[in-house]
Structure 1
Amino acid sequence: MTATAHPLDVPRARAAEDRPPRPVPWVSSVLYAAVLFAGVYYDIVGDDPQHPVRTAGFVIGVAALFALDAAEARWCRAGGRRGAVAAAVLVLRVGLFFAVAACDGAGLSRVLFVLVPFTAYFAFGRRASLVLGAGCAGALLGWYALAVDGWYADAEAISDLLMFGLGLVLAVSMAAVATGEQEARRSLESTVRELRASHGQLREYAARVAELSTAQERNRLARDIHDSLGHHLIAIAVQLEKADTFRARDAAAADRAVADARWSAARALDEVRRSVRALREEADPFSLSAALADLVRHTGTDRPRVTLAIAGAETGYDADPLTALYRAAQEALTNARRHADARHVTVSLEYGAAAARLTVADDGRGLPGPGATGGAPGVGLLGLRERLQLLGGALHIESEAGEGTTLTVTVPRTSGGGP
C-alpha cells in the first residue's frame, strides 16, 4: 500500500498559501489591557475623578476592541481579511480608538494608534502601513500644534511625540518580522507537503519497479528454462528414439545416440547449476565460441550434419549478448532437427567491432507460408525475440516451403546498445 495525497489537499494548500498573513493577537490584547488598567486606575486614585458615564463608555469601548479582535481572528481563520471588509474593520477600529481616547482621563489611550499601521501591515502590506503610520504621527503633531500653545518648547509634549514615533517604528518593525515569519512557515509547510507528495510518488514508483523487475526476472527464467533445458530434453528424446530404432540394426549408432543423450542430460544439469549460480551472482565466465563448438560437435554426429565457422574474437563482449547468440543457435538446431528434417545445417558466427552476427541456415522443409518472414510461431522464437529486444538486438528469419530456413541474429557488443 502506498500513501497518496487526497485530491482536495492541493487546492486547500494553495488557498492557505494565498491567504494573507494574520495579525499577532497578543500585541493588541496587551495594549488594550494596559490602557484599560491605566484608565480605571487613574479614575480611582486620580485627583479629578471621571463621570461614571464617561468611565462606562471607556470600559465599553475597550471591551468592543477586544470583541472586534476576536471576530477578526475568527474571520482570518475562515480565510477572510481581504478588500473592502478589511478596510471597514480598520476604520471601525480607528473609530473605537477615538472613542476610547475621548473617554480616557489618563491620556494613555493615544498609544492605541500605533496599532493602526501594525494591523494595516497584515491586511494591506508594507506601503499602506508606512503611509498610515506617517498619518498617525502627523495627526498627533497637528493636534499639539492646534491645541497646545508652545508645545515645541514643552519637554513633556516633545517626549510624548518622540515616544509615539518610536512606538510606530516598533509596531511596523514587529509587523514586518511577524509577516516574514508567517511567510517562512508557509513556505516550509509547502515544502514539507511537496516532499510528502514526492515521497509517496517515489514509493509508488519503487513498488512498480519491483513489480516490473519481478516480472522481468520471471520472464528471463522462463526463457532460460525453455531455451536451455527444453533444447537438451528434446535432444535426449530424439537420441533415445534413435537408439531404440537402431538397437537391432546398428548397435554402434545406438550406442552413439545413447552417449549423445547422456551428454545432453549432463549439459542440462550444467545449465541448471549455471542458472543457480547466476541468481547468486556467481556465474562462471561464458565462452560462446567454445560453447558453440561443443554444441555442434554433439549435434553433428548424425543427421543433420552441422558445420561451424567463426570469424573474429569475442573479447570485449558482454555475457548477455553472447548467451543470447548461444540460445539462438540452440533454438535453430532444435528446430532443424525436430521439425525441418534438414540434412545439413551451417552455423556462422562473426564478431564485429560493434556487433556480432549469428547465421544458422538449413536445407529442410522451411516454415509454413509463402515468401520470406520476419518471424515464426512458437514459444522458442517468441522468447528469443523478447530476449534480443531487451539487449537491443534483432532477429530475422527467411524461409520458403521446401527451400530451407535461414535465421540471422545480431546483438550489440554491450548489453542494451544498438547493433
Structure 2
Amino acid sequence: MLAPTLPLVGALLLAQPGSEAPVLQPPSFPLPALTWGAPTACLMLPPTQHVPSGAWRAQCDDDAQRCRVAPVRELGADGVETDRPVARATHCSVSFDEETAERVKTYRMEPARADAPPGWYRDERGRVMQFNFDLNRRVWLGGAWAPMSHDGQVMHRMRADFGIAVEVPTRGDKTLHRLRFLETELHLGVHSLDLTLARYDFSIQREDPLLRVTTFLGKPRRHDLYLNMGLWMEALHLEQLKRDGQVARFLSLGAVQASVDLWHSRDLVSYVRVRAGTGVESDLVHGFNAVAPSAALEGDVTLDPDGFHHFRMSAEVETLLLAPRVEGRPRRPERLRVQAGYEVILLAINDQPLSLLVDGRGVRRDDIAGVPERWEWSASAGLRFSLWAPARRSAPIAVAARE
C-alpha cells in the first residue's frame, strides 16, 4: 500500500485537463471491496456515466500497480451516483505528491465497493447495513402476550419489558464484566412488577489449572481442571404482585453470590454456571427485613457467530430466614423459579434489530400470606426492539462473512 505523504497537490491532480488521466477498467463480478482500515486516498478521475462527478476513494498497491476505486457517494436505483456520501467507510488519509501522482496514473483503476467495518455489509450501490448484532450489549424495549395458569385456570396477561445491558472485557479478554441496569418486567391483566436497579457479574478464564490430572492408560495424558470462579451482585430488586386478592411487595436491598462457570465459550460471552450466596430482603407490606440465601443454575448461550439466535435458561431456589412469623405462611418461606427462553432476530430497522422472544416459566412459592403454595406456569411470545445493539466483538469483515 502507498504510505501517506505530505499533501502537496489535491486529489484533482489525476484528472487535470491537458494531462493523461488513468483509465477506469470495466467492473468485475463479483465486485471486490476495499479493505477496512487500509490507507485510502480520495481521487478525481474522468467523469463516467455512473459517476459523473469523477470522485472516487482509492486503495493502491505499488507491487501490483493497481488501485481499487469506489465512488465516494452512494448510487441510486438507476446506478447513477446520488448526493448521499457513503457511510461508515475508512476516511481518506493518503495524499499524493507530484511524483507519486504521476506513477499512480499508470496503474490499473479497478472498480470496487467501499469498505465497511466488521459486522457491517455494503451492497453494490454503496449502502451499508449491519448484519451482526450483540444482544448482550443493548438497550431494549419489548412487549409480549404472556398467559398464566394455575390450578387448571388460565389467565390472560400482557407483558412490557425494558433493560440496559453492557459487557466490558479486560485482561486481554480473559475476564468479562457484565452490567445490567433498570431491568423491568410489567405484567398487565394479573398484575405484577419486577424491577432491578443494577446487577453485576463477571466470568473469568484462569491461567493456571486448579488440578492437573495425569492418566496412564496407554500414552500418559494430562488433563487440566480449572476453577473459573466469579462474582454476582444485585442492588435494589423490587417484586410486586397480587394473587388471590393479596398484595405482596418484596425489596431486595442487595445480594452477593459466588459463581462458578461449568462451561463458557472462548470469548466468555456464552456460559453455563452455578451461583450461590445471600442477600437482605425487606417485606414492604409487613414492615420487616429478612436474610434471603439462594442458589441457581443458569445459562446464556449465543448459538451463531452473527448473534441472531440466543438460548437462556435458569433454575433458582430461595428461602427467607430470620423473618418474624406471619399468619398464613410458613416460618421459612421458599421460592422456586424455572425459566427457559429463545430469542431470534427477525429484521433490523435503521440497523437496530427487532427480535422474536418466546419463553416458558414456572414459579412455586409460599411467601404470600393467605395464598396456598402452588405452581404457576406461564408462556409468552412477543417482540423486542433493541434501541442500541452494536456488532459483536468477534464480528467478521463482511467479505469473509457473506461472500
How does the TM-score come out when normalised to structure 2? 0.20
Higher relative contact order (CA 8 A, sep 6+): 2
Q: Could you say which structure has the larger radius of gyration?
A: 1
Question: Which structure shows the higher strand fraction?
Answer: 2
Question: Which structure shows the higher helix fraction?
Answer: 1
